[in-house]
Homo-oligomer: A and B are copies of this chain.
């Protein structure tokens, strides 16, 4: 079955070389998730609805409700393969995707006031993905949604599904109540390390529900400001992980930052390195320059791909943030600002292409190579 699918895909793919796409969005319709929820919550939902804040309740988005204008996803929550079939034909096959990582949906739980309800939704979401996507399509891998409001419940959820080899990371929203390096969250990292799962922060739910206002100056007005601010929340998380000493405590933990761009990292680590030289006595557990922590412990994904406006700056900036080892390709399918594997990037040297489109993700997630396609010329 798997082999047939993959062989089938190769004949019509736009890419000869298979790739790993680290950010694909599945769908878990709420009516489809109901059967995985405890009865008490099914009854409450029937009476009061789903008490979850909405990302779309505050800001405009792009495309049509956040997806590509020409995406016409069939909605049929009764047919378990409807969206999966769509995904296979319109993305996995098209771009010769050897592994596609499903990163949610479902981030509304990360802004909910009712932590127990959030925990139940996370479990339902994870069960839905395991049954509807991961057990049906071996190219897809999943992300464990956790109720980050309660690190102990989060650790329990990681322990519940984290040994399933189809679950390859833990995912939370970028919007937060505290920067993620804070000791409050450490039980989550214990569980990540126990199951050898990266901790992934995906943009979403900034400034919404229980999370802090989007910027250190408060809420912003427009979607374009919102998108810019998301990078700076990631920056706060990155500095927090480094200066709270998380990697001294959990040296095998890896942190992935998804969909917040990448160029902001260069001036951030330059600044932190400079200040660290003068102020390191205040955080003596930080033993190396902050840029070294970034290089060793963080991975970033490419979409929405940011590049400097002048060609001569592209290579130096990509080198400054160690793209060759730290950047992983992401398409963000099917969202409006989808990056095509064939068009988003400028021409890259073959080794750089191979690292970004395959090896960096394969190494991080421990994904065995399935096709003998390494070194095959690019499309």
Chain B residue numbers with a CB within 8 Å of A316 are 310, 312-313, 316
Checking B225, B268, B309 against A270 with a beta-carbon cut-off of 8 angstroms, the contacting residue is: B309
A42: Cβ under 8 A from any B Cβ: no
Known: A261-B271, A264-B267, A313-B316. A282 touches B223 (CB 8 A): yes
Indicate whether A165 reaches chain B with its CB closer than 8 angstroms.
no
**Chain-B contact segment, one of A33-41, A85-93, A210-218, A352-360:** A210-218
Residue of B nearest to A221 (CB): B244
Q: State which of A6-14, A48-56, A98-106, A226-234 sits at the interface with chain B.
A: A226-234
In angstroms, Cα B232 to Cα A316, docked, is: 23
Q: Establish whether residues B216 and A278, one from each chain, have CB atoms under 8 Å apart when the complex forms.
A: no
User: Which of B178, B228, B244, B309 interacts with A275 by CB under 8 Å?
Assistant: B228
Residues of B close to A215: CB separation below 8 A: 179, 212, 215-216, 232-233, 235-236
The answer to whether B243 touches A229, judged by C-beta atoms less than 8 angstroms apart, is no
Q: Is A320 an interface residue when CB atoms closer than 8 A count as contact?
A: yes
List chain B residues, Cβ under 8 A from A223: 279, 282
* Cβ distance A375 to chain B, nearest Cβ, rounded Å: 32
Copy number in this complex? Answer: 2
Chain B hits for A279, CB < 8 A: 62, 223-224
A182 close to chain B: CB less than 8 A: yes
In the complex, what distance in Å separates the CA atom of A174 from the CA atom of B230? 19
Chain B residues near A209 (CB-CB < 8 A): none
Q: Does A177 contact B (CB under 8 A)?
A: yes
Q: A: which residues have CB within 8 A of B? A: 60, 62, 174-182, 206-207, 212-225, 227-233, 235-237, 239-240, 243-244, 261, 263-264, 266-268, 270-276, 278-279, 282-283, 304, 306-310, 312-313, 316, 320, 337
Task: Kindly list the 5 A-B residue pairs having the minimum CB-CB distance in the complex, ordered from nearest.
Answer: A232-B232, A215-B236, A263-B267, A216-B233, A176-B217
Between A and B, 29 residue pairs with Cβ closer than 8 Å are A177-B217, A179-B225, A182-B221, A206-B216, A212-B213, A212-B218, A213-B213, A213-B216, A214-B216, A215-B233, A217-B236, A217-B240, A220-B239, A224-B272, A225-B240, A228-B239, A229-B236, A229-B239, A231-B267, A232-B235, A261-B271, A263-B267, A263-B271, A264-B264, A264-B271, A267-B267, A270-B309, A274-B304, A308-B320
In the complex, besides A215-B216, A229-B235, 10 extra interface pairs with C-beta distance below 8 angstroms are A176-B218, A178-B218, A213-B216, A217-B236, A220-B240, A221-B244, A224-B282, A228-B271, A266-B308, A308-B320
